[in-house]
Structure 1
Amino acid sequence: MQQSPGHPSHDDDWAQTLRAKGLRATAQRMAVLEFLHHHPHTDAEAIFQAVRCSLPTISLQAVHLIVLDLSGKGLIRRISLPDSASARYETRIEDNHHHIQCIRCGRIEDVDCIVGHAPCLEPHDNHGMRIIEASIVFRGVCQSCDAEFEEKDEHL
């Protein structure tokens, strides 16, 4: 499992991080942060399904509000992927990285920026804007899906 640079990995640190951003350290927020820390690239529905085991009174709406608050305060990163109706979230925010997604199974992995600082790319014309981020999603087919496809192809 990949650790998020500069981010805590237990409750006391998450509580301190939340308070430093002006948010109360509620059990719900801390559960969402801890889950995302160990399960990056997860959407709100999957977060809800996972944390409601330990917090049975939490609602899907509450999870949506929590990820909105956490991303707004810069504690998590919101990822919008092509062909995906729902945003994904992760706690790896301290660096400038991108993502690669398998178009068959949907698996998402981090891809480090080759330059190392934001933004990794400079547009030809910035239209007078100061660029702070370049968001790139590489799309392909993972080895598992490729092997499965080849197996099916052999049986035809």
Structure 2
Amino acid sequence: MSESALPVSPGRALGLSSPSEVADSIRSAALKVTEPRLAVLAALTSTPHVSAEQLFTLVKAQLPSTSLQAVYGVLAAFGNAGLVRKVEPAGSPALFERRVGDNHHHLVCTRCSVVHDVDCAVGSAPCLVPENDSGFAVHAAEVTYWGLCPACQVDLAAL
């Protein structure tokens, strides 16, 4: 997928609509508010399921002096603070999203790689429980559903 064609999935609204709300979110995670952090979190809020490289492209448009390494550093800090979630679909680059803490899952198109959020099938986390937990205290389950998105189904039917 090209960097200019960033898919935006209809995930749950994140409630951050102004720069001050983005800054407050960073502060509430006990992190210092910096321009790169503001730019990365704003981009993640408006464009869910985005790779670090795609984020770099978005952030660099606002902050030309930003480096890819700086974006990775911001993502690591945000991940440690619980502000972002890293999603790693098989065969694709890692994606980052702002929707955290609800143990939701993902639908991934096997043709175009678009990613959509899907709520837990059962409700509350961990949503799925292993038959034998080997003594673990399970607190989350990750599920990825693979298939064809509606647009790709239409495209293939037209062939």
Q: Same fold (TM over 0.5)?
A: yes
The answer on 1:38 being equivalent to 2:46 is yes
RMSD: 1.3
The answer on 1:103 being equivalent to 2:110 is yes
- For 1:48 and 1:42, locate their aligned partners in 2 and report how far apart those are by CA, in whole Å: 10
In the TM superposition, 1:1-156 aligns within 5 A as: 2-4=12-14, 7-84=15-92, 86-152=93-159
Gapped runs of 5+ residues in structure 1? none
Give a deviation string over 1:19-42, Cα, whole Å, max 9, x none: 222211111111111111111000
Gapped runs of 5+ residues in structure 2? 1-9
* Aligned structure 1 segments of 4 or more residues deviating by more than 6 angstroms: none
Contact 1:96-1:116 within 8 A present in 2 as well: no
Q: TM-score, normalised by structure 2?
A: 0.88
Corresponding residue SS for 2:158: helix
Q: Percent identity?
A: 36
- For 1:9 and 1:92, locate their aligned partners in 2 and report how far apart those are by CA, in whole Å: 15
Corresponding residue SS for 1:66: helix
Aligned residues: 149
Tell which deviates more after alignment, 143-152 or 62-71. Answer: 143-152
Report the CA distance between 1:145 and its aligned residue: 1.1
- For 1:13 and 1:98, locate their aligned partners in 2 and report how far apart those are by CA, in whole Å: 26
Report the CA distance between 1:114 and its aligned residue: 2.3
Give a deviation string over 1:106-133, Cα, whole Å, max 9, x none: 0100001122211010000111111111
Report the CA distance between 1:151 and its aligned residue: 1.9
